[in-house]
Structure 1
Amino acid sequence: MAKLFFRYAAMNAGKSTALLQVAHNYEERGHRVRIFTAQLDDRYGRGYVTSRLGPQRAAEVFTPQTDFLALTQADPGIACLLVDEAQFLSKSQVHALHEIAHLRNLPAICYGLRTDFRGELFPGSATLLALADEMDEMKTICDCGRKATMNMRVDESNRKVTEGAQVEIGGNARYRAVCGRCFRQAA
Structure 2
Amino acid sequence: MAKLYFYYSSMNAGKSTTLLQADFNYRERGMQTMLWTAALDDRAGHGGIESRIGLHAEAHKFSAATQLWERIVAAHRVEPLACVLVDEAQFLSEAQVWQLARVADQAGIPVLCYGLRTDFQGELFPGAKALLGIADSLIELKAVCHCGRKSSMNLRVDGDGVAVKQGAQTEIGGNDRYVALCRKHFTEALGWWV
Q: TM-score w.r.t. structure 2 length?
A: 0.95
State the shift of 1:104 in Å.
Answer: 1.2
Indicate the residue corresponding to 1:45 in structure 2. 45
Identity over the aligned pairs, expressed in percent? 52
State the shift of 1:24 in Å.
Answer: 0.4
Match of 2:135 among 112, 132, 136: 132
Instruction: Provide the rounded CA distance (Å) in 1 between the counterparts of 2:173 and 2:46.
Output: 14
Match of 1:158 among 146, 161, 183: 161
State the shift of 1:100 in Å.
Answer: 0.9
Residue 37 of structure 2 aligns to a residue whose secondary structure is strand
Residue 81 of structure 1 aligns to a residue whose secondary structure is strand
Instruction: Provide the rounded CA distance (Å) in 2 between the counterparts of 1:79 and 1:46.
Output: 24
1:184 equivalent to 2:183? Answer no
Q: TM-score w.r.t. structure 1 length?
A: 0.98
Aligned residues between the structures: 187
Amino acid corresponding to residue 185 of structure 1 in structure 2: E
1:33 equivalent to 2:33? Answer yes
Residue 27 of structure 2 aligns to a residue whose secondary structure is helix
Instruction: Provide the rounded CA distance (Å) in 1 between the counterparts of 2:57 and 2:101.
Output: 25
Indicate the residue corresponding to 1:96 in structure 2. 99
1:80 equivalent to 2:49? Answer no
State the shift of 1:73 in Å.
Answer: 2.0
Instruction: Provide the rounded CA distance (Å) in 1 between the counterparts of 2:179 and 2:13.
Output: 11
Amino acid corresponding to residue 163 of structure 2 in structure 1: K
Instruction: Provide the rounded CA distance (Å) in 1 between the counterparts of 2:176 and 2:159.
Output: 8
Residue 41 of structure 1 aligns to a residue whose secondary structure is coil
1:14 equivalent to 2:14? Answer yes
Instruction: Provide the rounded CA distance (Å) in 1 between the counterparts of 2:22 and 2:112.
Output: 9
Residue 160 of structure 2 aligns to a residue whose secondary structure is coil
Indicate the residue corresponding to 1:65 in structure 2. 65
CA deviation string 1:44-72 (max 9, x = no partner): 21311101001111111011111111112
Residue 37 of structure 1 aligns to a residue whose secondary structure is strand
Cα root mean square deviation, aligned: 0.8
CA deviation string 1:74-109 (max 9, x = no partner): 122111100000000000000000111011111010
CA deviation string 1:105-132 (max 9, x = no partner): 1101000000000000000000000010
Moved over 2 A (4+): none
Indicate the residue corresponding to 2:24 in structure 1. 24
Instruction: Provide the rounded CA distance (Å) in 2 between the counterparts of 1:42 and 1:99.
Output: 28
Residue 126 of structure 1 aligns to a residue whose secondary structure is helix
